[in-house]
A and B are shown apart, each in its own frame.
Chain A
Amino acid sequence: MANNVHIDVHHITRVEGHGNIKVDIQNGELKECKLEIVEAPRFFEAMLKGRHFDEAALITSRICGICSVGHQLASLAATEDAFGIKISEQERLLRRLINCGEYFESHVLHIYFLAVPDFVGAKSVLPLVSTHKDVVVQALKLKRLGHHIGDIIGGRLIHPVNLFPKAITKVPSKEQLEDIILKLKDAQNELKQGVKTLKTLKLPSFERETEYISLYKKGEYAILEGNIFSSDTGETSYKNYRDFTNEYLIDHSTAKRAKHNRDSFMVGALARFNNSHEWLSDSAKEAAEELGLKAPCYNSYMNTVAQFVELFHIADDAIAAAERLLNMQLEVEDRKFPVKACNGVGAVEVPRGILYHDYTYGDDGLMKKANCIIPTGQNLDNIENDFKALLPTIMDKSQEEITLMLEMMVRAYDPCISCSAHILTVEFV
């Protein structure tokens, strides 16, 4: 048993952005245990000040490359909430499609490229190119599908070019929609193959119950709209997001943190699954069953599996959306709306959890104040708490093994550290 453990992982790899893990155990006693976020602060909220409402989504998109669609959708939702804009059915469906693109890219990247190598003892996906070529090819194909959908609906997946408040400025053709459906159906088959791969991964057994927070809409696996739901306290309007994200700064992190009912809470795929699993599509439910994911699940490592299960649901949902669109006469919609001084909130489930944008505009349509709260920031304390629960149970392992298990824990949350290092304004003290 290792009595003294000193772990200092500088720049955790295979995550988005820069973070360090520091653990110090002396004589079997946990002296220090933290996840440091060392990403340079980027001051997005300050940059948004004075910008036109059309640009808010363009700018916030650049907070994070991997959730750029999510940022844009949350940004549009905030702007639309502020100006009181109701979006059309066509718009809603198109957004569901492009969001599906992002989930595919993000979840597949995380599951196959970032998480899986740990389970097969590889340092990265590169060695897998020769040892597990078919899995890599499958992953690339699924990931590419995400980009493909992004290209068609948004001009591209990373920082889409045509998402503006009220309406998208280009609509897909019939052929393009048919093509998306075809490719998604193909992906469904690939995912079924993927279940077999995933089943072979041995996830660490670990349990720590925490508060699970996600968007919630009765009858729906809520992603793009809904209220906030806590496994501890139930449903609340999304407008009250601040109750859930009491942000505070701590010394070792450029990202702000959040807490609600307990010391910390969890957002992301596992939280969504725990709160909304009954509305998953049938194929997703089957996959969950086969992979042994049952609600409520208190093993954070299972977040990766929950993501995989979500892909089934997302694919089904996107096919349904595309089929609806095929039966509609798509037209680029008018984007005009009255401009006034206003405030609004957008809350969207991005792959890593709930993302909030909160904007205040002046009567000239320019941003007065912005506040964006990203999921990784919300999860950070929960990760540290998981560390604290996990460490005493694995003290008998070697330092390398302990490090790996901690790194795997961080990766399981699929943190997006570049996002979290963007900043939050604390208003309304």
Chain B
Amino acid sequence: MSAQTPEFVITKKDLLQGLDKALADYQVAALTKKDDRVLYDIIKSPTEVVFDYQPTVLSPKKFFFPQDETILEYTADGKISAKIEAKPTVLFGIRPCDLNGFKILHEAFADDHGDPNYLAKVEQTVVIGIDCEKICDKDAFCFKVGSQDATGGFDLMLYEIADGYAIEIATDKGSQFISKYLTTSKANGDEITSCQAKKAANFGQEKPFKNLAKLPELFEQNKHHAVWDQEGSRCLSCGSCIMVCPTCYCFDVGDEWQLNLKKGERVRKWDACMVTPFAAVGSGENFRHTATYRLHHRINRKFNFLMKKHNQAVCVGCGRCVRACLADISPKRIAEAIGADS
């Protein structure tokens, strides 16, 4: 991991003030508390921000790729228009796993055909990351898949130092945000290095899979490994893992007239390759008709099929699916079973 050089430092007070200022021009989403859960949500005041990270149920991908999104509007007399919605948004306090997730989603939605709905939101969003000093909980395994440090997906990255943060600037959008909203002072230049030393110490023995780079090959060779059925037979096909995953982006598209049949819209919504009907076609064939096949497909998307494309494990090790899975199925355990670490 190459050390980054920060350009500025900011006190926590100034940071909060900056966010407050930004609220005039942006909707700001940050880690916050609602009912008895912690989640990324739109805040009204910086006082609502929770700095102490606890894993959320959903990843912040929902801000770029919402659960339901209207993509077309039309009328009964044939007027039809694309609906592309985006608001100036600040995503604050996103952690490395999710930032790496953003990077993958950005690439996927920009791939070959640039998805207008997704990219419009990317364009209008300033992403401010915060580095993790320590492992957030027992289910997280970012360090196994090389995701404990963000490699992209952010405009600004914050590293915790005494009384504030050192800021790494990744994009022009990021530096414009600083000059417009944040009161900063010059950095010494070694802040990030010392943060990362501390982080390395905290992560300690937790090292990436020995065969991280070879995972696609290993998965290719182990299509029929016993682990697939061992884990797959427990799978409920409930799709929870997919809903919570920061790098799952399959969707379904449906049309709906309003009840008066005068206006209608086309909506895309999250879909899940783990649920039974996902790969069924009109002729009645279901190309992945067992939970084992579906599990194989999902995990291979993460460590094989898409990993080749993005040159990085597409599972970012956030641990959300492990927490969400009632059947206790874990991509990490599967990777280990096929020899990721031996």
Min Cβ gap B219→A in Å is 43
Which residues of the partner chain B approach A332 to less than 8 Å between Cβ atoms? 35-36
A contacts with B: majority SS = loop
State whether the Cβ of A170 lies closer than 8 Å to any Cβ in chain B: yes
Interface string of A392-403 (1 = CB under 8 A from B): 000000000000
CB proximity of B41 to chain A, nearest CB, Å: 12
Interface 0/1 of A169-202, CB less than 8 Å to B: 0100000000000000000000000000000000
- Tell me the count of chain B residues lying within 8 A, CB to CB, of chain A: 2
Closest A residue by C-beta to B34: A173
The CA-CA distance from A170 to B36 in the complex, in Å, is 10
What separation, in Å, do the CA atoms of A170 and B35 have in the docked complex?
8
Question: How far, in whole Å, are A332 and B37 apart by their CA atoms in the complex?
Answer: 13
Chain A, range 276-335, C-beta contacts under 8 Å to B:
332
Which residue of the partner chain A has the closest CB to B36?
A332
Shortest Cβ gap from B44 to chain A (Å):
11
Q: With the chains together, A332 CA to B36 CA distance in Å?
A: 9
Interface string of B36-50 (1 = CB under 8 A from A): 100000000000000
Q: How far is the CB of B35 from chain A (nearest CB, A)?
A: 7
Residues from chain A with Cβ under 8 Å of B36 in the complex: 332
B residues 282-314 touching A (CB-CB < 8 Å): none
CA distance A111 to B296 in the complex (A): 59
Which residue of the partner chain B has the closest CB to A332?
Answer: B36
Which chain B residue lies CB-closest to A170?
B35
Assembled-state Cα–Cα distance A332/B35 (Å): 9
Q: Which residues of A contact B35 (CB under 8 A)?
A: 170, 332
B89-117 contact mask (Cβ, 8 Å, vs A): 1 or 0: 00000000000000000000000000000
Q: How far is the CB of A153 from chain B (nearest CB, A)?
A: 15
A179 to B35, CA, bound (A): 18
Instruction: Tell me, in angstroms, the Cα distance from A233 to B144 when the chains sit together.
Output: 79
**A170 CA / B37 CA spacing, docked (Å):** 13
What CA separation (Å) do A16 and B36 show in the bound complex? 40
Residues 18-39 (chain B) with a chain A CB within 8 angstroms: 35-36
- Proximity bits, B243-275, A CB within 8 Å = 1, else 0: 000000000000000000000000000000000
How far does the Cβ of A330 sit from chain B's closest Cβ, in whole Å?
A: 11
- Nearest to A331 among chain B residues (CB) is B36
Q: Which residues of B contact A170 (CB under 8 A)?
A: 35
> Least Cβ distance of B321 to chain A in Å?
26
Q: Shortest Cβ distance from B180 into chain A, in angstroms?
A: 30
Separation of A410 and B263 alpha carbons in the complex (Å): 44
CA–CA, A332 and B34, complex, Å? 12
B260 smallest CB distance to A (angstroms): 15
For A171, give the chain B residue with the smallest CB separation.
B35
Nearest CB of A to B36, in Å: 7
Complex interface bits, A350-382 against B, C-beta within 8 A gives 1, otherwise 0:
000000000000000000000000000000000
B33 CB, nearest partner CB in chain A, Å = 12
- Give the CA-CA distance A214 to B36 in the complex, in Å: 41
- The complex places the Cα of A100 from the Cα of B35 at a distance, in Å, of 24
Chain B proximity of A120: nearest CB distance (Å)? 27
**Chain B 132-171 per-residue mask, 1 if CB under 8 angstroms from chain A, else 0:** 0000000000000000000000000000000000000000
Instruction: Enumerate the 3 nearest inter-chain pairs by beta-carbon distance, A residue then B residue, closest first.
Output: A332-B36, A170-B35, A332-B35
Partner-A contacts on B (CB < 8 A): 35-36
3 A-B Cβ contacts within 8 A?
Answer: A170-B35, A332-B35, A332-B36
